[in-house]
Amino acid sequence: MSLLKTVLFGLLLVATPVYAAIDDDYSDDTADEMGPAAFMWPKDRVWSASMDNTAPCGSSASVGNRSEFPMSSGKVALVDQYESYSVQLSISYLSNPTKNSDFSVLISADDFADIERGHTCVSVPDAASSVDAGQKATLQIKYTSDWEDDEDETYYACADIQYVELTNFDVSVPCFNATNSTDSDSDSTSSSTASASTSTSSSSSDDSSGGSRLISGLSTITLMALFVATSMALVSS
């Protein structure tokens, strides 16, 4: 066995238990720190199990630090641990929205595909012409899931943002599609294959925000799996 193969084989032996540990950690964390779905980016408000069915934001937290968000070509990254449907993305320009009527629909449930388990990247309509750089806003996802007690319930999550010109936006948004469909007849776009940018956001994160730890675990698992597969292929060559 060549030196290269020996090294790769050694790395493979090290990577396997690390992968297993990450997978175990992922399994332990998901149900405790988010609802059926959440914003991965922009950073969402801290999830609360007792409030996740309460409009408009499914959280007892008030407006916190706002993520910079581009006025054009914006995207949101969503993470889902249980199939969700009738998803709607809305926005409020109030400093502290307190009810659903404070929000205007950006993407209706009719135009928004169901969210399968995993990661979903969604393009957001450009800011209205009346919106200037510096404008504060809150994004909301409203969706249905039978996550609890096998009964359909409405869930909410919010992410607070501040608009900036695209030329001044330098965050690498962790936006990609890697979902696991439970429906054999589902569209081929719902797959376990990652696409688009998988870079990590340079914005600040909080382990207790819904989805932040889940996405970290899944992203690491994906990269580790690719590494292991590549190593095995080289070792066998």
> Can you give the residue ranges of every domain in the chain?
1-34+211-237, 35-209
- Of 5-9, 36-40, 53-57, 220-224, the one with minimum mean pLDDT is 5-9
CA angle 115, 117, 120 (to 5 degrees): 55
Q: Count the residues in the chain.
A: 237
Among residues 66, 28, 21, 24, the alpha carbon closest in space to that of 158 is found at 66
Was domain 35-209 assigned CATH 2.70.50? Answer: yes
CA angle 182, 188, 190 (to 5 degrees): 50
Is the pLDDT reported for residue 44 higher than 90? yes
pTM score over 0.95: no
Could you give the CA distance from residue 90 to residue 87 in angstroms, rounded to a whole number? 10
User: What are the pLDDT digits (tens) for 159-170?
Assistant: 999 999 999 999
CB 200 within 8 A of CB 174: yes
User: What are the pLDDT digits (tens) for 97-155?
Assistant: 999 999 999 999 998 877 778 899 999 999 999 999 999 999 999 999 987 777 899 99
| pLDDT of amino acid 112 | 84
| pLDDT of amino acid 181 | 60
Could you give the CA distance from residue 141 to residue 51 in angstroms, rounded to a whole number? 14
Could you give the CA distance from residue 81 to residue 148 in angstroms, rounded to a whole number? 12
- Of 40-44, 54-58, 64-68, 233-237, the one with minimum mean pLDDT is 233-237
